[in-house]
Amino acid sequence: MGILDSKIPSGPLADKWTKHKNDINLVNPANKRNIDIIVVGTGLAGGAAAATLAELGYNVKTFCYQDSPRRAHSIAAQGGINAAKNYQGDGDSNYRLFYDTIKGGDYRSREANVYRLAEVSGNIIDQCVAQGVPFAREYGGMLDNRSFGGVLVSRTFYAKGQTGQQLLLGAYAAMNRQINRGKIQSYTRHEMMDLVLVDGKARGIIARNLVTGEIERHSGHAVVLATGGYGNVFFLSTNAMGSNVMAAWRAHRKGAFFANPCFTQIHPTCIPVSGEHQSKLTLMSESLRNDGRIWVPKKMEDAVAIREGKLKPTQIAEEDRDYYLERRYPAFGNLVPRDVASRAAKERCDAGFGVNKTGEAVYLDFASAIKRYGKEKALTSGIKNPDEATIIKLGEEVIEAKYGNLFQMYEKIVDQNPYKTPMMIYPAVHYTMGGLWVDYNLQTTIPGCYSAGEANFSDHGANRLGASALMQGLADGYFVLPYTIGDYLSDDIRTGAIPTDSEAFDEAEKQVRDRMEKLMSGTGIHSVDYYHKKLGKIMWNKCGMARNAKGLEEAIKEISELRKDFWENVKIPGTIDSKNQELEKAGRVADFLELGELFAKDALHRNESCGGHFREEYQTEEGEALRDDKNFKYVAAWEYKGEPKDAELHKEDLVYENIELKTRSYK
């Protein structure tokens, strides 16, 4: 097992979490008042954790770079949140959610963690409803569900197309209640610049006030990092512009192992890139795949004509369309998991069937759904023998009720009416399954440093199923971390407040200042974005949807050269001690330039294809991923040793006692 102890409790799978909660130490309510906890990041995981910890009685300080906790990028999740409630009576259960998640993650996640996730999933929905989250309901007043990719039941709860925002507002409201009580101090427009270790334990952070540029010291008995994923290492992703890896990477440099960095999710349904000016990519919810059919032209000449603008998609006859997901995966069809759908789109576009100017887009077509719904609606509205126009009108109304805001968003961005012509979509970087290595308690390899939500690696293996990110973030924040952290803090009831004038804080602050000054000293002419875009291109071309050893080796070399260039030449106007968005970006990109290299190194070492990690050398004759359970059934946790290339690999073997490892098949 090496030096990694996952601390998975013994006993039968279904009893582990209950048993663990009974076994761990607690902190009594009076002592909780003497304990300070720092929570960095206020998305679903951080916001939920902060609220719950404060409610339990701890003194909490939260930090976010945004101007409000409510703006964390959890807000952008559209489709929904999974929970094994079995309200639809379609045979769902904790076990089935657990099984789907492990399988969807291509057998690269921990059984115990995932089972716990499934176990608390139902509680999340109860909790959120109690908080006033306006989930969609049926006419009878009960909660509605929809189905999502990679599963055969309907277990996704949703709030229009903005489930993420509604859940985050719920967590934020819970935070507000504690802020009002004085139990949470919320520091907005603050960025964590470094983690402070005192005697080997995480005891505080150095933060920068982004308004004044001031460097601040904050101490606590434990530090929770809930800072999201690192998808922006690709420059173009569906992440927010400010999403970054800084907090996690700073912790990594201080001793927290970074697990499976190469496990990245490429989401199949994003709006395609329109040009060089593109600053970010916009996701179209996966829920659209419930009703949209994905296709490209069957004939190469049609594809060429479409690209040249000589032919419209609606002019292509049904028999000349290639519904490639339905063709390749008849059982799941358009609802295959994200990694499978993304790769299939890339395969078709690489083969020359792409449908936009750049050749990197496929169609997502609602015409048949509109007709189907229209007929149904006509029937239920008592319209006999409706004509084609009536059917389409009624059908469009149904589609609008379901996806209106997404369709509107698409039209604003692309300037095409998706009710009349199929949407164009293409895969884009969306989520990172990798992250800080944590044990069953969500503690990193640094004592007292915890990580929750997308920032940790824990639950999704090599691929995340749709509507599971919200579930994991809230599970970690509301129901897991607040209890497991008590076990660690029970030793700290006599410690007293942590002073911030210690040598450790002095040293950490000095490092932060030195680093910023070094960044400001660049002598070249290129902006931070210039380097970020270059890094993104390397990552996308060589560490993207398909990877190979040669490309990865090149990537490692190119990133390391780019990093050197960046540190010598990046041009940042303004000063350190004032609001300076270029400097903020520079600090983040500097860390991406290190992470990117570790990412490539991890991808290079993993000589198999699994989930979102597709190595071209390891595929079946039909082009499906070829996993190697004999050699790679482990979590790759990297220890920082100076340069990313020197990172040391530690393996946590994954043990499957309750699930039989199979080749993932959605055929």
Which residues are catalytic, by number? 338
DSSP string, 515-575: HHHHHHT--SS--HHHHHHHHHHHHHHHHSSSB-HHHHHHHHHHHHHHHHHHHHH----S-
Q: Is 404 in the site for other proteins (CB under 8 A)?
A: no
Interacting positions 523-562 with other proteins (CB under 8 A) = 525-527, 529-530
CA distances from 309 to 221, 278, 321 (A): 62, 22, 17
Given the complex with other proteins, which of 224 and 508 has the nearer CB atom?
A: 224
Q: Between the CA of residue 295 and those of 282, 361, 407, what are the distances in Å? A: 20, 10, 18
Positions in 106-145 near other proteins (CB under 8 A):
120, 123-132, 134-143
Binding to other proteins (CB under 8 A) within 648-667 occurs at: none
Identify whether the C-beta of residue 340 lies closer than 8 Å to the C-beta of residue 348: no
Amino acid at 47: G
Which uninterrupted H or E stretch holds 472?
Answer: helix 469-474
Site string for other proteins, 57-76 (x = CB under 8 A): ---------xxx-xx-x-xx
Q: State yes or no: residue 402 binds other proteins (CB under 8 A).
A: no
197-226 residues in contact with other proteins (CB under 8 A) are: 211
- Is 242 a binding residue for other proteins by CB under 8 A? The answer is yes
Residue 452 to residue 440: CA distance in whole angstroms? 11
**Residue 198 one-letter amino acid:** V
CB distance 60 to 523 below 8 Å:
no
Least separation in angstroms between residue 648's CB and other proteins is 35
Residue with smaller CB distance to other proteins, 48 or 595: 48
Nearer to other proteins, 103 or 533 (CB): 533
Which alpha helices (H) appear in 181-299, and where do they start and end?
246-253
Q: What are the two backbone dihedrals, phi and then psi, of residue 593, each rounded to the nearest 5 degrees?
A: -70, -20
Site size toward other proteins (CB under 8 A) is: 83
Asked if 155 touches other proteins (CB under 8 A), the answer is no
CB of 284 to other proteins, least distance (A): 10
Of 539, 651, 655, 653, nearest in space to 603 by CA: 539
C-alpha distances (whole Å) from 509 to each of 194, 244, 626 are: 8, 20, 47
Residues 281-320 contacting other proteins, CB under 8 A: 282-283
Q: Indicate the angle between helix axes 163-180 and 44-56, nearest 10 degrees.
A: 30
Strand pairing class (258-259; 435-436): antiparallel
With CB under 8 A as the contact rule, which of the stretches 375-383, 539-547, 569-577, 601-609 interacts with other proteins? Answer: 569-577
- What is the three-class DSSP state of 260? coil
Q: Shortest distance, CB of residue 487 to other proteins, whole angstroms?
A: 18
Q: Where are the beta strands (DSSP E) in 51-182?
A: 59-63, 81-82, 156-157
Piece of 191-199, 293-301, 579-587, 607-615 that binds other proteins (CB under 8 A): 579-587
Q: Which of 172, 437 has the CB closer to other proteins?
A: 172
- Burial class of residue 547 (count of CB atoms within 10 Å of its CB; 0-12, 13-18, 19+): buried
Q: How far is the CB of 121 from other proteins (least distance, A)?
A: 10
One residue of 29, 30, 89, 180 binding other proteins per CB under 8 A: 180
**Binders of other proteins in range 441-470 (CB under 8 A):** none
Report the largest interatomic distance among the alpha carbons of the chain, rounded to a whole angstrom: 82
Of 95-103, 147-155, 163-171, 287-295: span binding other proteins (CB under 8 A)? 163-171
Positions in 469-528 near other proteins (CB under 8 A): 478-479, 525-527
Q: How far is the CB of 283 from other proteins (least distance, A)?
A: 7
Tell me whether residue 192 or residue 635 sits nearer to other proteins (CB atom): 192
Q: Which is nearest to 116 in space by CA: 17, 19, 9? A: 17
Rg from Cα positions in the chain: 25
417 is an interface residue for other proteins by CB under 8 A? no
Residue nearer to other proteins on the CB measure, 508 or 519? 519
Least separation in angstroms between CB 136 and other proteins: 7
Assign residue 324 a region (left: φ > 0; alpha: ψ between -120 and 50; beta: otherwise): alpha
In one-letter notation, the amino acid at residue 600 is A
Q: How far is the CB of 89 from other proteins (least distance, A)?
A: 12
| Residue 169 binds other proteins, judged by CB under 8 A | yes
Closest CB 181 distance from other proteins, rounded Å: 10
Tokens at residue 37, please? 């906890």
Among residues 29, 275, 382, 642, the one that binds other proteins under rule CB under 8 A: 275
Shortest gap between Cβ of 200 and other proteins (angstroms)? 31
Work out whether 186 is an interface residue with other proteins (CB under 8 A): yes
Of 177, 371, 375, 651, which one interacts with other proteins (CB under 8 A)?
177
Residue among 34, 52, 82, 227 that touches other proteins (CB under 8 A): 52
Q: Is 162 in the site for other proteins (CB under 8 A)?
A: yes
Q: Which of 8, 14, 31, 55 binds other proteins (CB under 8 A)?
A: 55
Is residue 157 classed as helix, strand or coil in its secondary structure? Answer: strand
Tell me the C-alpha distance between 295 and 300, whole Å: 13
Is residue 45 part of the contact set for other proteins (CB under 8 A)? no
Which of 4, 102, 179, 294 is in the footprint of other proteins by CB under 8 A? 179
The type of residue at 594 is E
> Nearer Cβ to other proteins, position 87 or 440?
87
One of 60, 195, 240, 262 touching other proteins (CB under 8 A): 240
627 binds other proteins (CB under 8 A): no
Per-residue binding string, other proteins, 322-361, x by CB under 8 A, is ----------------------------------------
CB of 604 to other proteins, least distance (A): 32
**What distance lies between CA 478 and its chain's CA centroid?**
18
Task: Confirm if 424 and 413 have CB atoms less than 8 A apart.
Answer: no
SS3 content of the chain, % helix, strand, coil (to 5): 45, 15, 40
To other proteins, the closest distance from the beta carbon of 279 in angstroms equals: 5
Q: Does 245 bind other proteins (CB under 8 A)?
A: no
